[in-house]
Amino acid sequence: MRASQRGLVEMNLDAQYKYVIIGNSAAGIGCVEGIRKVDKEGSIAIISDEKMHTYSRCLTSYYIAGVVDDEKILFRPKDYYAKKKVTPILGRKVVKIFPNDNHVVLDDGARIGYSSLMIATGASPVIYDIPGNNKQGVFVLRTYEDARRISEAAVPGKRAVVMGGGLVGLKAADALHAKGVEVWVIVTSPQIMSQTMDREGAEILRKQLEENGIKVMTETNVEEIIGNKKVEAVRLSTGQTLTCDIVIFAKGVRPNIGLAKDAGIETDYGILVDTHMKTNIPNIYAAGDVAEAKDFITGERYIHAIWPNAVEQGCIAGKNMAGCDVEYAGGIAMNSVDLFGLASIAIGFTRPRGKDHGYEIIGRSIPEKKFYRKIVLKDGVIVGAICIGEVEAAGVFAGLIKRRANVSKIKDILLREDFDYAKVLGEGLIEDTSDFATA
């Protein structure tokens, strides 16, 4: 035990838990599950400033579209906390962390002690400083409350401008469109999904959006939101004015590092963690969108703010908090989006600058089928993959990336529409004996 533990006895704490988790989303729940794999009984408290039972932020756009409701947006059942023996402290905000005394203070003054602490405070949407950004009808899409408010505003016949062509922006656009709202997507970059998708893939997705009635304008900015109190229009960098009732900022998120920073925990853009998801303070961990953790491909620290990474990081942190020694191999950017029935998955490093950097790019496109596949290789090893249309092989590519398998001899096979795990085994690319047995 740390020497500072002594302080716990002297201090008058309102409650003391073995594990305290700040944050009730993917990384926080991943952490609960990691802990419970190892420690079935140790007391856990999960603190969130939102009142909701744990729900999926990725489902907020589905909530707007009416595909999921108040029940289905929960990604763990209602009895989850009870079953996992977790004390939920919901609707309460942690205002300060005292690393030397191993406790946190909540907005109602309560002091909660911990033996180890997980910071899974996530990220917040960025609202850019443009005139009119505080008008009624301007939204961000992150929380359940955001989704509920947008859902109320999204009445058929209304018009919306979505700023940002990333995953959140496109999913919001898709959802608004499903509600009968006319939608423009305004993108600063020359293409949509500029973080994950290459030019050619983005063009296919843009076409898919436009064929289904969503208008996309690239290389354009919203410069002003016009209206009295309410949004009435936006003025674009092209000089054009678009009449609208709803504006959604979907131009990225910023990690919520304030608490950690104030507590003297090492931060950069996010909270810096080692390969055990530990911060510079031995009994404080961080995971998810707030944590700058190892990147699988580069080995450098980076934030891949995506659901699977958050769950995995949370789980690894949880196991380590409970006394195991588990290392994080590193995160890989990956995302999946289905737009009007066209599936697209992008994994890893998909946009290298060409052969001069040692990357090899192979690709295949069948426009009439909306099939597109691109593989990025370095020294015979896959570092990135894009699958549009046929996506069933995407996970196999992700697996090959993680195994760092050399695929030099089957490069052409990778681009076949029927590429699958059998081809990997058939070519003896990797050894897979799990669940296989010889007669």
Partner 1 sequence: MKKKIIVKLDKCIGCRSCEIACAREHSPSRSGERITADTKKALSRISIRTGLANPTDAPEMRPKKGKPKTEIVTGKAYPIRCRHCDDPKCVEACMSGALIKNEEGTVIHDPDKCVGCWMCIMACPYGAIKRDLDNKIIVKCDLCPQRDTPACVEACKTGAIVCILGERLERENESIAEGSG
Report the nearest approach of partner 1 to the CB of residue 12 (Å): 39
The reply to whether 58 belongs to the active site is: yes
What does DSSP say about strands 215-217 and 222-226: parallel, antiparallel, or unpaired? unpaired
242 in the Ramachandran plot: left (φ > 0), alpha (ψ -120 to 50) or beta?
beta
26/321 with CB nearer partner 1: 26
Task: Provide the binding-site residues for partner 1, judged by CB under 8 A.
Answer: 26, 30, 56, 58-59, 62, 67-68, 72, 74-77, 307-308, 311-312, 315, 334-338, 341, 343, 345, 347, 391-396, 398-400, 402-403, 410, 412-413, 416-418, 420-423, 425-427, 434-439
Nearest distance in Å: CB 311, partner 1 = 5
The residue (of 203 and 417) whose beta carbon lies closer to partner 1 is 417
Tell me the CA distances in angstroms from 20 to 47, 55, 161, 319, one per residue in order.
Answer: 8, 19, 40, 14
Say if CB 59 and CB 15 are below 8 A apart: no
Nearer to partner 1, 271 or 386 (CB): 386
Q: What is the smallest separation between the CB atom of 385 and partner 1, expressed in angstroms?
A: 10
Inter-residue contact 106 to 100 (CB < 8 Å): no
Q: Report how far apart the first and last C-alpha atoms of the chain are (Å, whole number).
A: 52
Q: Minimum distance from CB of 219 to partner 1 (Å)?
A: 29
The nearest distance, CB 419 to partner 1, in angstroms, is: 9
Q: Which is nearer to partner 1, 262 or 338 (CB)?
A: 338
Q: Report how far Cα 306 is from the mean position of its chain's Cα atoms.
A: 2
> Which residue, 159 or 403, has its beta carbon nearer to partner 1?
403
Pairwise CA distance, residues 33 & 84, whole Å: 8
Nearer to partner 1, 12 or 438 (CB): 438
Structure tokens of 291? 């944590």
45 strand-pairing partners: 20, 87
Measured CA to CA, the distance from residue 438 to residue 359 in angstroms comes to 39
Pinpoint the alpha helices (H) of 137-257: 144-153, 167-178, 199-211
Residue whose token pair is 């009295």? 228
Strands (E), 273-341: 284-286, 291-294, 301-302, 334-339
In which residue are the tokens 């505080």 written?
134
Closest distance of CB 427 from partner 1, Å: 6
Nearest CB to partner 1, comparing residues 161 and 322: 322
- Could you tell me the smallest distance in angstroms from the CB atom of residue 125 to partner 1? 18
Query: Strand 301-302's sheet: what is its strand order?
Result: 271-272, 291-294, 301-302
Q: How far, in Å, CA of 137 to CA of 147, rounded?
A: 13
The active-site residue, picked from 58, 244, 315, 387, is 58
Positions marked catalytic: 58
